[in-house]
Each structure stands twice: as structure tokens, then as C-alpha cells.
Amino acid sequence: MTDRRDIAAPRPWTGPALMGLRCASAFVGGYAAASALASLLARLLPLARVEATGWGMIVSFPIYAGLLLWAFHEPRLSRVAAVLWGSAAVCVALVMALGPRA
């Protein structure tokens, strides 16, 4: 005979808790990744500073939208968090390593 307590025991990280973590990671992590990529793009483009910054900002909007859609499409939350926060960290590190533009 099976023990009914094992079947009905609530698990702490299911349902609304995981969706809240996914939303937080998608919105905040996606914004961090898109803005860091926009900064890196503005630093690397061979244009005037103002034009490079403008193009980086223009490109960041569809990137953010794509990251949001992907974050809710991907079934594994760990992959979402790793890609969003990892890409943000790598882009920020590259921008800091490149230094200010002359």
C-alpha cells in the first residue's frame, strides 16, 4: 500500500515560485544582457560615438524582445538564467576590458 503523504506533499519550487523566478530572470536578466550587449556594440562599431551609441540602443530593443520570448520558450530555468546572466557578465567584462573609447 502506498503512503498518501508522499503523494500529497507540496514541493516548494513548483508552479508559481518557478514562474516568478522565470519572470524575474527573463525581465531583469534580459534587460541586463541587452543593455550590456548594446554597450559592447556601441564600443566596437567603427562609427562616431553618437552614432555607435544610437545603433547600439536601436539594436538592443529587438534583442531584448527576442531574449524575453526565448526565456519563456525554453523549458529549463537553469539554462535561461545561465545564458542571460552569463552573457550579461561576459559583455560587461569585455566592455570594461576594452576601456573608454578614444
Which range of residues forms the domain containing residue 93? 30-102
Which band of pLDDT confidence, cut at 50, 70 and 90, is reported for residue 2?
low
Q: What is the SS3 string spanning 60-89?
A: HHHHHHHHHHHHHHCCCHHHHHHHHHHHHH
Query: Which of 61, 62, 65, 45 lies closest to 53, judged by CA?
Result: 45
Residue 18 forms part of a structural domain = no
Q: Is there a contact between 17 and 27 (Cβ–Cβ < 8 Å)?
A: no
Residue 12 forms part of a structural domain = no
State the number of CA atoms in the 13 A half-sphere of 40 facing the CB.
17
Place of cell 508559481: 16
| Total domains present in the chain | 1
Q: Tens of pLDDT along 52-74?
A: 999 999 999 999 999 999 999 99
pTM: 0.80
Three cell numbers, residue 63: 534583442
Residue 63 forms part of a structural domain = yes
